[in-house]
Structure 1
Amino acid sequence: MSRVSYLFFLVLFLLFCHVASNDPSSILPLDRQHQGHSSLAFSTTWQILGPFQIGTREATWGADPLEYSGGFRQLQYDENAEFRSSLPSNGNAKWQIINATQTSSTASSANASLSVSYSNVDWDFLKLVYGWAAVQYQAWARGEITVTGNETQSVILYTDAILEFRVDGVDYFGGDFYTYRKAPPVLHLTPGTHEINVRLVRDVRAFGGILKPTIDVLLDLRATSGTLELAKPGILVSDMVDGKLASPIASVTLRNTGENDIEIVSIQPVDVRTPVSLHGLVSQVVLAQSPPALTCSQTKTTSFTSAVYSVTLVAGQTRPVDIVSLPAFNASLIYFTITYKAVNGDGKLSFLHVSQNLTKRSTYDPHKVTYLHPGGMVSYAMLRAPAKNATCSPGKKKLPILLALHGAGLEADNGIVAHALDPVADLCSWVLFPTGVTPWSGDDWHNWGFTDVEAAVNSIPSWIEHVGWQGPDVNINRWIVTGHSNGGQGTWFSLTHRPDRIVAAAPISGYASIQKYVSYELWQPMDPKRTSIISGSLNSYRHEMLMENPKGIPILQQHGQIDDNVPAYNSRLLSQQLFQAGTNSSYNEVPGQNHWWDTVMTTPQLVDFYHKQTASNDTIPRRLSEFSFVVGDPGDMGSKGGITVTHLEDAGQYGKVYVKGRIIRTVNILGLDFDPQIWAAESVTVDGKELELADMLSVSRTTGSWMIGTVYRTENDTLHRSSRQLGAMTAILRTRGPFIIHHQGNSQTAHIALQVSRNLHQYFYADSIITSAAVDNTKYTGNVITVTIGEAPPSLHPDFPIHVNAAGVSVRDSRGGIHGYTKNDTGRLGAAFLRPLKGERLELVLWGTDDFGLAMAARLVPMLTGVGQPDFVVLGESAAWRGVEGALSLGFFDHEWGVTASSVLS
């Protein structure tokens, strides 16, 4: 049988067996697909209440003025009611009725588009005073979902451009602000009407700052099978490169749309050949070359218990499932059968099928390579190997990597990204287009996204071995970095946080920092100390404060002169800062050009720069006789001039290092490490004290005076904070393995645990294990998120400064004083704080005195960039409308997990 005939026969066979295709909606049972007596619909008219002010990324902190009146959920439509607001004329916000701009309804789907605007606000004048921050505002909308028929409908709800909503009294925070459509909530709607309340938040980063300040959102319901489904069509797998699969790693994303937990029993192809592993399950790969023996029954597989984790999806959960150890075979299609069963069910097996056509590329063209992100799931990048005609210096055996970082909303495999550097196909370098895991790069190429960059870089040697590459080798420690827009900002992050790896950099049309892009005006009022805590949480991302770090690195900036998306002011400001820091940089502002044009990545100036810098023979890391650098978060920061800051004295303030020869002066620094390549076993003078490095290349001053040795003093690694544990609350994202989300087993904490899992997957494509069983820290490698009401498991740190119980929370300050907060005194309470685990792991505790307090705390799990979550926060009930000012205490932990003196404790 020919391959074409076989594939045709295979398709007919699958249709005969009623097997699901790549479209999740098509896996409905046939009776559900064709029943006409049941349907879904959104209301065509909606009640709207607003507008109210909101600051840049403030919504995570609550800051909803209607909460002062009991919350929108408690309010009923009243055309005469007025609510105090700082935005509209006469200072009053009112109800209005609007029609959805579009609605549609079928037996298995329904959607409604809303467009909300306000003519009673002088937006133009406010913009003159407050800039783009003035066109950010919030409102609420109320409508209905109607389910006809006699059966409960299992549905998923897409919430495009929405951060928060409420269905039948159940709150959901996280939504889908960037319209990823990765992890919608699963709802089980009974026949009748269901109230839906939607918090509308206009954010310039998401909606833009130039056009009319409307809020445009989409609600989209899709019926599901009520069991296991493909959350995303197909399989994430590498391309075929000259007859070989470029990477042995693949992934399929699954969603449990039922009401019972599901266990994956096995993943196996139609044609059983070479064993591959599925995080603890033995599977096989399909080689679509010769016809297998086809049968509607499941072929027997071998399985074993994973030392890492078993693949279970709780009801409503979406998870990526990794498939590793695929051979470098030549094929056109891979096809898997997923066998699963209900947990605590009758043991009956069910089947789901997924296939993926493989794309064939040349080695010398950008092609997809897959690899494991440290978070435990599969990610991908586009890789272009050095061309045959690359003009390299004679004898140059290891070539650098040209990293090209994409802008917001783009996938790396999009032709606009992957082929942007085709005009310079002859570069003497490897060219890598990371994805940052998601189209918005997870978190703007910072923590999670930058980890993905480094994972992509480190995957190239494996690619070389896997495909049998015979060309020039790669030097994974020599980077030329470029990127456009958000990728330009990511280029600044690379420059300022990995200077000892950077040969050169070309940031294009990038913004200086989140705060410089859209100012943080119009937040709810807060005292300056609280402001400083929030700002300090974002210190690592304020590139305008870090321009000393790139000294010695050639930099070419480029920006369109009339850019109305990212104003050229951002690049002009950083150009000035670079000049004042004595950095070797040049600035090219292109007349008459806006944010994007076809050759934005390959202007003549950039082409010359790429050729010159990829051919550079500069020694990396550079040996500089005099330099300085600034550290916002040692957990993010690499070395500069061979010196790495290991700890800051106060995590909420910048640390600075000044070097002249072997004389070093520091500010707010607690520990330093020295690279032996640059700092041989000789003496250095640190803050006036001479130290002999000898064999120990670490110095610290935990006792007040500099001495040889590290910051650590005991073998108990939970007593001292280090490496991946450093930074603000975003340090929880430095997980090594899937997140473990532990809850108490009741409905309130289980709901929040599922929300946290959904948000982590939605915004980072992260994987998580949800469990109510006691967490065995010897079994898992990932960071833990504990969701609890009342009591919390004890800390591994024997003297941790924060304690919670059913009555309230207490915090011990830097002087030993105890600050207690009880629900009897302050109302409902919530808290979110980091705690140490062994092996540089972290636990994030989400706690509340009740479900309201817990929900307030859960909103602070890192999700959107620019929010500014410090190490610990205790929220009073008033945080719901006062935002940060409603935090009873917030701040940072020091190197011994003590509360710093700069923290706020009321």
Structure 2
Amino acid sequence: MLIRHNLILYQLFLHLPFGMAQQSALSDDAIWRVELNKTWDVLGPFPIHAREQHYLSPSFPLNLSEPINLNKSWPSSYGDDGKVSWSKAESDANGTLSVSFPNIRWQSLRATEGWAALQHHAVLRTQLTVYPPRFGSAPFPGLLIQLIQGSFFSILPIEPAHCEQHVAEWMSGNIYDMERALPRIVELPFAPSLDKPTAYNIFISGDYEIRLFGDPAVKGSTSPVQTIRLTVDVKKGSHSLMHEPSQDVLCDFVDGFAFGEVIGMGFRSLSGWWTIKKVKLVLPHAVLIAPSQTRTIPVIIIQEYPFLESQLQVEVTIASSDENIKKHTISLPISHIKHWTDIAHEPIRATYLYALTTPTVFVIVPPVMPSLGEPHPPILALHGAGVDVIDQCSWIDYLPRRRYNWIIIPTGRTSWGLDWHGPSARDAWAAVDALCSILQSKRQWHGWQIQRGSKVAIMGHSNGGQGAWYLASRYPDRVLGVVPAAAYIKSQAYVPLSMSRSAHYIDPALRTILESSLTPDDNDLYLSNLVDIPVLAIHGGNDENVPVWHSREAMSILQTRGPNANANVIFHEDPGQGHWYPSVFDNEHVQTFMDSVLSTQERILPASKFTLTVSVPSESGSLHGWKIESLLLPGRLARLQIDTDEFGITKVLTLNVHSFSVDLRLFECRAVHIGESMIPLPADQNTTLHFNFTNRTMCEVMENELANSQPPSRIQDILLSPGPITFVVPDTPSCKGVTVALRLAHDLNVYHKLDSNFLLESTAVMMLKTETLPPSNTVFIGHPSSTFPQIVLDKKKTPFAVKDSHLLLNDIVLDDTNGGRCDH
């Protein structure tokens, strides 16, 4: 077996922290220690809406540059007298802290505002003390901090002299308790004393999320309780680069052959910049890891013979920033399983390479029998929020094995992902294509193949049920049928935004921009795309997590959109059942529905009249061959209404559409009537026609698609980078811009499992001039007067510009009153 390091396709130098950390055998008297006070001061609660903590100040309502008065009360609509005060809480030996406010009349609030009234914010404070070694004078190595189910934390000085010189630097916690997340590497705001204990304040933003903590009524309580865990330790070990096995990405080996194209080795830099020079057998391009960054290094597998060992030995050569070269051998555990049979099988972990550099795992359940004749379409099964399908197979065990159909269970990047939108949706479709490639790679698997670009049936539960609505309504021509179970319609309908704090202060005209950015995620707006797709919606009648009205309302909208549609649309409500029950998919009506939609891949005949609704063309597919390519006003909804008469003449009405296309292999008609134009279609129907509006009423026909220069509609789309997100940072390592980029890289890895790459500005400028920048989305962090942004903005491809060291938008200077800033 030949193991080849992935070349990453570019001339990249990626800073990678690497080292085999070894515990030193020093006595307690010779090492640094840290102690966390178990008594916490707690201020709250304050109303916020779901996920609002991500753009409010984590210390609200406190100004941490001022002294804290523990006797002061603060305005809050949750308190009986309109005020709340400081209280106390105690953490246990494991660092777990329960935060509740029993004096708040939660039932009264909930009676009018629903469970949205349970959403709240609190500020927590305690002290941590750093103790120097009794013997020796080793410098302080830094802290490892893990905050579980808390939003943000910050460490501040206690002494007034230090406070005046320090601005709070907030770091994200692991609020959703993402699996396999590593502790953050944290530097103290000032160095501790070498001869006496040094105390610091640590603050936490504690935010109650219904989606995270659930409804307290399920546990027989009326009071919401935040359960937060904070652990603090001193960074240990004599090496700066560590292999982190929890970050490895490994596929199963079936009869000795890897069921995937790539494996990944996780590395983390505890300090310094490190470069992965090579993996044994091949000289690859270097991979750079920045201080505190974690990266999973991809290794492409080329295999000719079975590999039956339990451990795979890989030799890795690393170099520090001062070119100190080291070699390390890493042992990777290999899981071997036997080829599946008609009576025995195991779920298989498979791998592929996401966005050029990121090894990614997904799980599959093999069919009972190989294909007889044409390949059979697979089932795409989407898990709910917080379900880790890699290490927790219980959810998969309740998916009945199919006779001829593979079941593909993607991770969605993480157990929470992006609600199966954005990178999570891309991951789901990529898993389908990856399985096709894997099955084609070995002769013994050819009888089980699926077609590339195969249509799929989609099923999902809870958040995965919402994801099933999303994927099916955005890519209807790839879907044979959809089974959303216990699904919510959209996030702001699941937990209403009525308790918003920011809404009281934002200009309503500006607030609508923020709210309209949710348009691409609002599933109810796109249900017109499903009027010809078979749908079986399932919901437990007593669902305590996602109220059953969500599925009822979704089906009502769907049936209103297409009262005369051809599709089989069914709603099945299981009386008395809660959110999850083992038979949700394992029952006769679901399997009968699946049998009917998977029995053929013939295209679904369209209704004579249907509507395609799109808001982001780059994240949307076609409906009966019709596809919206670009919009007149990006960010606004666009619609194509298709109406075909008995003579085969199709009338097209458009809303906010600049260009569109129709694949004549998927839609049959004789002519198209658009605005004032009647356009006869060519005799050759094996083609795609492209239409472009030259004005409001005139439309021209083209054989080739227009180059789409339209930018993405919202900043979140930067996550859809074709490669690792590239951070361009100042050349000065101690610059604040570098620390901001490192914090963002950490969050991208924890919350989305997205890779990131660092380039010093001087290197990026050189690449920019020689047009060798990697094909990825790039983030510059620094001053507007720097060379890199000036070169980019001088091309005048955006309304931004730099003048006299100021950033301008449409010739207006962006300052603190009208622009964004990053104080922490």
Q: Normalization by structure 2: what TM-score?
A: 0.84
Query: Match of 1:265?
Result: 277
Q: In structure 1, how many angstroms separate the alpha carbons of the residues matched to 2:331 and 2:28?
A: 23
Q: In structure 1, how many angstroms separate the alpha carbons of the residues matched to 2:428 and 2:420?
A: 8
Please list the CA deviations of residues 677-734 of structure 1 after superposition, one character each: whole Å capped at 9, or x if unmatched: 13579531123432356577111225334322579999xx7xx634xx4331121122
Query: Match of 2:721?
Result: 735
Query: Match of 2:201?
Result: 195
Change (3 A) 1:600 1:75: farther
Query: Match of 2:141?
Result: 153
Q: In structure 1, how many angstroms separate the alpha carbons of the residues matched to 2:25 and 2:495?
A: 51
Query: Match of 2:571?
Result: 587
Identity of matched residues, %? 22
Q: In structure 1, how many angstroms separate the alpha carbons of the residues matched to 2:176 and 2:356?
A: 21
Contact 1:231 1:254 in 2 (8 A): yes
Change (3 A) 1:640 1:75: same
Report the CA distance between 1:620 and its aligned residue. Answer: 2.9
Kindly report which structure 2 residues correspond to 1:586-665, keeping only aligned pairs within 5 A, or say none. 586-615=570-599, 617-620=600-603, 622-661=605-644, 662-665=650-653
Structure 2: tracts of 5 or more residues without a match? 1-17, 157-166, 193-197, 218-222, 645-649
Query: Match of 1:175?
Result: 173
Kindly report which structure 2 residues correspond to 1:733-772, keeping only aligned pairs within 5 A, or say none. 733-746=719-732, 747-772=735-760
Query: Match of 1:287?
Result: none
Query: Match of 1:210?
Result: 216
Query: Match of 1:802?
Result: 800
Task: Say which SS state the counterpart of residue 577 (structure 1) adopts.
Answer: helix
Contact 1:156 1:187 in 2 (8 A): yes
Q: In structure 2, how many angstroms separate the alpha carbons of the residues matched to 1:593 and 1:367?
A: 31
Change (3 A) 1:323 1:805: farther
Contact 1:267 1:339 in 2 (8 A): yes
Report the CA distance between 1:95 and its aligned residue. Answer: 2.1
Q: In structure 2, how many angstroms separate the alpha carbons of the residues matched to 1:348 and 1:464?
A: 40
Task: Say which SS state the counterpart of residue 193 (structure 1) adopts.
Answer: strand
Letter of the 1:434 partner, please give it: P
Kindly report which structure 2 residues correspond to 1:58-137, keeping only aligned pairs within 5 A, or say none. 58-62=52-56, 66=60, 71-100=62-91, 102-104=92-94, 112-137=95-120
Change (3 A) 1:682 1:734: farther
Change (3 A) 1:459 1:434: same
Contact 1:113 1:218 in 2 (8 A): yes
Contact 2:440 2:449 in 1 (8 A): no
Contact 1:241 1:360 in 2 (8 A): yes
Change (3 A) 1:672 1:224: farther
Task: Say which SS state the counterpart of residue 142 (structure 2) adopts.
Answer: strand
Change (3 A) 1:367 1:535: same
Contact 1:133 1:518 in 2 (8 A): yes
Q: In structure 2, how many angstroms separate the alpha carbons of the residues matched to 1:245 and 1:693?
A: 49
Kindly report which structure 2 residues correspond to 1:243-262, keeping only aligned pairs within 5 A, or say none. 243-258=256-271, 260-262=272-274
Change (3 A) 1:94 1:313: same
Number of matched pairs: 740
Query: Match of 1:566?
Result: 546
Q: In structure 2, how many angstroms separate the alpha carbons of the residues matched to 1:362 and 1:236?
A: 21
Query: Match of 1:881?
Result: none
Report the CA distance between 1:518 and its aligned residue. Answer: 0.6
Contact 1:317 1:754 in 2 (8 A): yes
Q: In structure 2, how many angstroms separate the alpha carbons of the residues matched to 1:580 and 1:535?
A: 25
Please list the CA deviations of residues 748-804 of structure 1 after superposition, one character each: whole Å capped at 9, or x if unmatched: 101111111111111111111112234225241211111123433332752521235
Contact 1:398 1:472 in 2 (8 A): yes
Contact 1:361 1:367 in 2 (8 A): no
Report the CA distance between 1:85 and its aligned residue. Answer: 2.2
Q: In structure 2, how many angstroms separate the alpha carbons of the residues matched to 1:233 and 1:34?
A: 28
Letter of the 2:622 partner, please give it: S
Q: In structure 2, how many angstroms separate the alpha carbons of the residues matched to 1:201 and 1:142?
A: 14
Letter of the 1:344 partner, please give it: D
Report the CA distance between 1:55 and its aligned residue. Answer: 1.5
1:550 aligns with 2:530: yes
Q: In structure 2, how many angstroms separate the alpha carbons of the residues matched to 1:213 and 1:73?
A: 27
Identify the match of residue 451 of structure 1 among 412, 426, 434: 426
Please list the CA deviations of residues 601-620 of structure 1 after superposition, one character each: whole Å capped at 9, or x if unmatched: 212211211222221x2523
Identify the match of residue 783 of structure 2 among 784, 789, 794: 789
Letter of the 1:708 partner, please give it: E
Query: Match of 1:438?
Result: 414
Letter of the 1:359 partner, please give it: H
Q: In structure 1, how many angstroms separate the alpha carbons of the residues matched to 2:19 and 2:772?
A: 40
Change (3 A) 1:537 1:32: farther
Contact 1:489 1:507 in 2 (8 A): yes
Report the CA distance between 1:373 and its aligned residue. Answer: 1.2
Change (3 A) 1:622 1:755: farther
Q: In structure 1, how many angstroms separate the alpha carbons of the residues matched to 2:809 and 2:415?
A: 39
Change (3 A) 1:713 1:598: closer
Change (3 A) 1:26 1:810: closer
Kindly report which structure 2 residues correspond to 1:274-423, keeping only aligned pairs within 5 A, or say none. 275=281, 282=282, 303-304=283-284, 306=285, 310-327=286-303, 329-331=306-308, 332-345=310-323, 347-349=324-326, 351=328, 353-363=330-340, 365=345, 366-374=347-355, 376-388=357-369, 396-413=373-390, 414-422=392-400
Contact 2:718 2:777 in 1 (8 A): yes
Change (3 A) 1:79 1:63: closer
Contact 1:509 1:566 in 2 (8 A): yes
Change (3 A) 1:353 1:397: same
Report the CA distance between 1:94 and its aligned residue. Answer: 1.9
Q: In structure 2, how many angstroms separate the alpha carbons of the residues matched to 1:698 and 1:262?
A: 49
Letter of the 1:355 partner, please give it: L
Report the CA distance between 1:496 and its aligned residue. Answer: 0.5
Q: In structure 1, how many angstroms separate the alpha carbons of the residues matched to 2:423 and 2:83?
A: 42
Letter of the 2:52 partner, please give it: E
Q: Normalization by structure 1: what TM-score?
A: 0.77
Report the CA distance between 1:193 and its aligned residue. Answer: 2.4
Query: Match of 1:109?
Result: none
Identify the match of residue 231 of structure 2 among 190, 206, 220: 220
Report the CA distance between 1:663 and its aligned residue. Answer: 0.8
Query: Match of 2:699?
Result: 707
Change (3 A) 1:515 1:646: same
CA RMSD, Structure 1 to Structure 2 (Å): 2.7
Contact 2:725 2:779 in 1 (8 A): yes
Contact 2:676 2:697 in 1 (8 A): no
Contact 2:367 2:404 in 1 (8 A): yes
Q: In structure 1, how many angstroms separate the alpha carbons of the residues matched to 2:702 and 2:793?
A: 24
Answer with 563-572 or 155-164: which moved more.
155-164
Query: Match of 2:490?
Result: 513
Identify the match of residue 697 of structure 1 among 680, 689, 692: 689
Contact 1:372 1:455 in 2 (8 A): no
Letter of the 1:220 partner, please give it: T
Report the CA distance between 1:200 and its aligned residue. Answer: 1.2
Please list the CA deviations of residues 19-47 of structure 1 after superposition, one character each: whole Å capped at 9, or x if unmatched: xxxxx999433325977754222111122
Please list the CA deviations of residues 502-540 of structure 1 after superposition, one character each: whole Å capped at 9, or x if unmatched: 111111111111111111112122343333212221112
Please list the CA deviations of residues 379-434 of structure 1 after superposition, one character each: whole Å capped at 9, or x if unmatched: 1111233322x7x7xx6412101111111111223222332223xx3433222111
Task: Say which SS state the counterpart of residue 268 (structure 2) adopts.
Answer: strand
Q: In structure 2, how many angstroms separate the alpha carbons of the residues matched to 1:802 and 1:56?
A: 32
Report the CA distance between 1:805 and its aligned residue. Answer: 5.7
Structure 1: tracts of 5 or more residues without a match? 1-23, 105-111, 269-274, 276-281, 283-302, 813-817, 832-847, 856-906
